[in-house]
Chain A
Amino acid sequence: MKKINIYLIANEKELLQDEREIGNFIRDLNDKYEEYNIYFKLILDEPKIDGEEIQSSELFFIIFQKEIDEKSINKFDIAYKNFVEYKHPKISTYIKKTNDTIGQSVIEFMKKLDEELGHYYNSYENIDTVKLNIVLHLKTLGLGKIETKEGKIYINEKEIMKLDNIPIILNNKNLETLKKEASELEESFWKLREELKEDPDNDGLFDEFTEIKNKRKNVKESIFELEKKIIDLESSFVKSSTEGKLSKRQIYAKKCLENGDIEAAKEALKLEEITEEANQLLAIQNQRKEALKIKVNELHQRADTLLLDTNNENRFQEIEETYEEAMRIEKESGLLRETMIVYANFLLDEEQEYQKAIDLCEKYLRYIEVEELKIETKDTIEVYKILGKGYYEIKKNDKAEEIFCQIIQLSEKIKEYSDMKMGYFHLSKVYIAQEQYEQAEKYLKKSIEITEKYDKSEKDLCVQYSTLAFIYTTLKKYKSAEKYGKMAIEIAEELERKAEKDEEANEFLGVVYDNLASIYQLQKKYEEALTYYRKGVFIRKKLLPINKKEYAEAIEQLINFVIEVEDKAGMDIRATKFVKNKLKEYEKLNNLDKALSDMNVNSYIGMSLLKEDNNYKESIKYNEEALSILEKVDINSETSFEKSDIVLAHLEICYMLAYSYENLNNDDNAEKYYKKAIDILENYLTMYPEKYDSDLLNLYDDIIALYYRIGRKDEAKIYNERKKKFIKE
């Protein structure tokens, strides 16, 4: 059962009867609400009652007549403070109108309500006014269906009170006239009815009766309508008075109505005056909105600035906090909530938080719909772009397809070709993801057509040609694939040349070389494939060391190709695969794993420089870096790398360094690294005795040869002994 507390202060002895009437009324309400499982508890003011009872009440009534004591005022203050903070209890203040003189305490309290708090107080002569207020409060609390019918109030279709004593009803001139007319018509109606019973065939009498009957019905309906309107007005007034401050104008107009003076009420609520005042307030509000908009822009600028702060590891988190704050300000101030889209873009592009970006866009579109805001088609397209890309990334292809179709439709409507092109391009990507290559080809060609005809963006064309080449490759249409692959290269070469040492342009060209190479490889045109794989490696080499990861991958690709087609790579396949696998996981790694990956990348480049180009000097540079990373790492820490792989990588680095230094005639360093390599491998075989490794024999031979060459025969002998021991074991 839901209990609703109603707190009542009516402490003067003159008000005892009113208090009991309210009590009895509440009892009756409880009977009426029984089936709704609602119980109203009237809490009468008693000295032992504390503030908690007031704070937990839904309604708070304070009634006074001649005097009001300090304790009652204190309780009113508790209720008022709680209302300001938590919006309950709803407060109603009543002064009973009598011929008695009002005491000083009441005058001061009324002044406080008027001037300090702006709280409206009612006056009443008949307690029904208070009862009606209670009923209308129940309406504001959403409790029950409240209706007016024939001068009575019904709650949930049960009569609860009569309206005869309510001033706004009692003094309404129009209602009075209607009621008077209704009474006269009632009298005539019954009189004529009797006469008609006596003389049923009298047509004139019947017509007169019918006319009176219709008039009676119409007047009754008019009374019903007017009473309903009056109670609706009263209800709105109660709602306003409990929600916050009422203006003096409202209070005055209400009093006029209670006195039956509708003209004076209308005069008080003059349209021109209210509009003028409202316009002044709107101007102030607009100024404030402008100022708030600037604050939102400042926050956007802060987010953009943070994005540049690449050394700050927490920048993404700080950007998120910044956008959240901007969104809050927009929401609370009623500004257009555009940050949602800016934030969604950030989440999509920078954080790859696709679902979160989608949720924000959906929320934004709902907001636009609910608020009935009109936004430019171009802006709608921007929102759809985020949605489409987001759905594509989370592989919700049906949704992505639907969104990109909408983008195409909208952009066709406003002839926005770049968006149309983008829509077709992404639609083709959605079909590629679903392996529907014919559809993909169809839409990609539309996209290319727009690029070629309108904006002629070289970069876009290059991507489009390259993607088309990919589609044709998958469809085994190699001739077309070659054609578009070459077209892509032509543009990419030009872009790379123009951009000079631009990382993006460089990688772009590298990729299109690799793509064409793989097209040739699939056609078993190995010579051509080798040419383009090599081009891929060489173009990336131009930018070393900033793109060492990409360079390493290109070399790996080249080596894999050579292994596959010639089987004479002479490379360490184990190391190649190791790097390949780890690179794929690179982005997901923890810091330690990243360090180890970096080490591997360096070592791999070092190895390739050594074996491809015999470039000892450069190889040493990369291997030294790899070694410095490795020596900082605690290999016993938690990492996704196998410990044995790390040991072997360490060995390879040392061996490459020794080999490179020896070739550069730096014998001291060569000796140092051979020794190190031998130690590592010996330890490794102690840890894994089941693994026989002939590399150790080679290492012994290498260091023995070195010692002989530089004339340190004793040391050569020592290693010779170690070698023999190893063989024996």
Chain B
Amino acid sequence: MNNFQIFLASSINEFKEERNEIGDFIRRIQDVLIDYYTKIKLFECEFHDNSIGLGRKQEEYNKEIEKSEIFLMLVGKKVGQYTLEEYNVAIQSKVPNICVLFQKVDYDTSVREFKKELTKDVTVGEFENVMQLKFLIAESIKNIIGDSMKVQEDGIVLYNKFIKY
């Protein structure tokens, strides 16, 4: 089984609905990939065991970032301290695909400052709605999957099976 992991970094409360949609979208991709011996894992801190202490928890998250193929960061009005730390870990660990997606909203200073720090290795995108968000995520996944996957405006075609956004 070929395994690859996507680390999803964002403020949990701000993007609750989007995270659900992304999770469900990944599940549908996974349902196709499983027949081709490929496993795609979405790591969200929401589902991770919170029983460990806060400091140690972040350490655990950092380890997960290091072993991810895609680092996906959703940015809304502001960038939180932990999300920023996760981004830095991804950069330091040289995660192959780092993708920062900004929601089209009024940002605060933290976002503006963060934008200045972005390097050219980072894929940057903007989204207004979940459809657009899924489109951008699909493009990142295509970098891993390759030609078996086609990204369209309304959905993806994976091994000749259509998955709607």
Contacts and interface: CB of A to CB of B under 8 A. Distances in A.
A21 to B, nearest CB: 5
B104 interface: no
B38 interface: no
A127 to B, nearest CB: 10
A1 interface: yes
Interface in B24-77: 24, 26-28, 30-31, 34, 39, 41-42, 44, 47-51
Nearest to B17: A17
A30 B27 contact: yes
Contacts of A39: 34
A28 B39 contact: no
Interface residues of A, number: 24
B21 interface: yes
A211 interface: no
B119 interface: no
Number of contact residues on B: which range applies? Answer: 20 to 34
B47 A28 contact: yes
Contacts of B39: 34
Nearest to B28: A23
B155 interface: no
A104 B124 CA distance: 50
Contacts of A19: 24
Contacts, number: 56
A27 B51 contact: no
Contacts of B125: none
A190 to B, nearest CB: 15
B23 A28 contact: yes
A159 B48 contact: yes
A334 to B, nearest CB: 45
Given A150-B51, A159-B47, A27 B20 contact: no
B23 A24 contact: yes
Interface string B129-145: 00000000000000000
A42 B20 CA distance: 15
A34 B42 CA distance: 13
Nearest to A34: B39
Contacts of A17: 17, 20
A217 interface: no
Contact of B27 (A1, A42, A150, A159): A42
A27 B26 contact: yes
A545 to B, nearest CB: 81
Contacts of B47: 28, 31, 159-160
Contacts of B22: 24
A260 to B, nearest CB: 26
Nearest to B24: A23
Nearest to B37: A1
Given A159-B49, A159-B51, A1 B24 contact: no
Contacts of B24: 19-21, 23-24, 27
B79 to A, nearest CB: 24
Interface in B84-136: none
Closest 8 CB pairs of A and B: A24-B23, A23-B24, A27-B27, A20-B24, A159-B49, A24-B24, A24-B20, A28-B47
Given A20-B24, A24-B22, 4 more contacts: A21-B20, A23-B27, A24-B24, A42-B31
Interface of A: 1, 3, 17, 19-21, 23-28, 30-31, 34, 39, 41-42, 149-150, 152, 158-160
15 contacts: A20-B20, A21-B24, A24-B19, A24-B20, A24-B23, A26-B27, A27-B26, A27-B30, A30-B30, A31-B41, A31-B47, A34-B39, A158-B49, A159-B49, A159-B50
